[in-house]
Structure 1
Amino acid sequence: MSQAVIGENSQVIFHFSIKLEDGSAADSTKVHNKPAKLTMGDGSLTANFEKCLLGLNAGESKTFELEPEDAFGQPNPDNIYYVDRSKFGPETPAKVGAIIAFTQPDGTELPGLVREVQGESVTIDFNHPLAGQRLTFEVDIIEVQG
């Protein structure tokens, strides 16, 4: 039986690890042993990320670097908000470096990073924490369908 190769519409189950330019680990599905699952072409990954997966078989591993535009994008200044300090309470204090989930008008939660606290103004950054960074991805392909 021939092994499935990742193509344009394949369903892929894989582990990935993300490393920063300094070599430190940013994220890994191996920590909780929960591999990622995706359907190629569904828009959840950038085109260049998908290109790096095309042609891999189950059992193969690959390491590749992606520029910010091909990973999590560049930080968007429109995703920086200034919130009044009175909106924070004892259970969610406004501390630099804290990640706080904010409920959106549609009921979904969006994590924001407290960047700065000045007087009564708190700067919240809703950009992905890895936006603007060149990243190294290590992928281990577990299963390929289609």
Structure 2
Amino acid sequence: MSVESIQIGDNCEVILHFDLKLSDGSAADSTRVNNKPAKMVMGDGSLTKNFEDCLRGLTAGDRKEFSLAAVDAFGMPNPDNIYYLDRTKFDADADLQEGMIMGFAQPDGSELPGIIRAVSPLSVTVDFNHPLAGQDVVFDVEIIEVRHTEGELKD
């Protein structure tokens, strides 16, 4: 079986370009901007089941456009992901603006992005939901390469 004829399924690594638009047609993201395709592994939990289902059966060279409801794309906003932080937790000269995205250090050393939703003299409201949570989206994908991951048995 040649690489070009492998269909996307379980235990596949997929390299693809995508354009992501909101339901009103406005652009939200694209791998083509920096010509850096995305790499995804089917079944690793990083993609929703419905997103994976839309990719199944495609092969290298295929293009497809599909719509996902918010719950199947980036999920719905979770009120538990909104935090009210004491203003003193930020540098006094920090220019905090509503809508800006900041990285917040986690105990394990990683960074979690948060969106500043409100700034007052005493507190800062930070939203750790995905910026596209609650949005219906349209993906336009172009499959570049499909490979079996090493965990799959081959004939």
| TM-score tier (shorter) | over 0.9
Please report how far the alpha carbon of residue 5 of structure 1 lies from its aligned counterpart in structure 2 after TM superposition: 1.2
* Structure 2 residue identity aligned to 1:13: I
Please report how far the alpha carbon of residue 43 of structure 1 lies from its aligned counterpart in structure 2 after TM superposition: 0.9
* Structure 1 residue identity aligned to 2:52: E
Helix, strand or coil for the counterpart of 1:142?
strand
Return 5+ residue gaps in structure 2 as ranges: 149-155
- Per the normalisation by structure 1, the TM-score is 0.93
Equivalent residue, structure 2, for 1:67? 69
Equivalent residue, structure 1, for 2:121? 119
Moved over 6 A (4+): none
Equivalent residues, number: 146
Identity, in percent, stands at: 62
2:132 to 130, 133, 138: 130
- Per the normalisation by structure 2, the TM-score is 0.88
State the distance in 1 between where 2:41 and 2:113 align. Answer: 25
State the distance in 2 between where 1:8 and 1:54 align. Answer: 8
1:36 to 38, 50, 59: 38
State the distance in 2 between where 1:22 and 1:122 align. Answer: 30
State the distance in 2 between where 1:118 and 1:90 align. Answer: 13
Report the RMSD for the aligned CA atoms in angstroms: 1.4
Please report how far the alpha carbon of residue 90 of structure 1 lies from its aligned counterpart in structure 2 after TM superposition: 5.8
Helix, strand or coil for the counterpart of 2:51?
helix
Change (3 A) 1:79 1:11: same
State the distance in 1 between where 2:21 and 2:93 align. Answer: 32
- Cα deviation per residue 1:3-39 (whole Å; 9 max; x = unaligned)? 1111222211101111012211111111111111112
Return 5+ residue gaps in structure 1 as ranges: none
Residues 92 and 100 in structure 1, CA contact (< 8 A), matched pair in contact too: no
- Cα deviation per residue 1:31-61 (whole Å; 9 max; x = unaligned)? 1111111121111100000000001111010
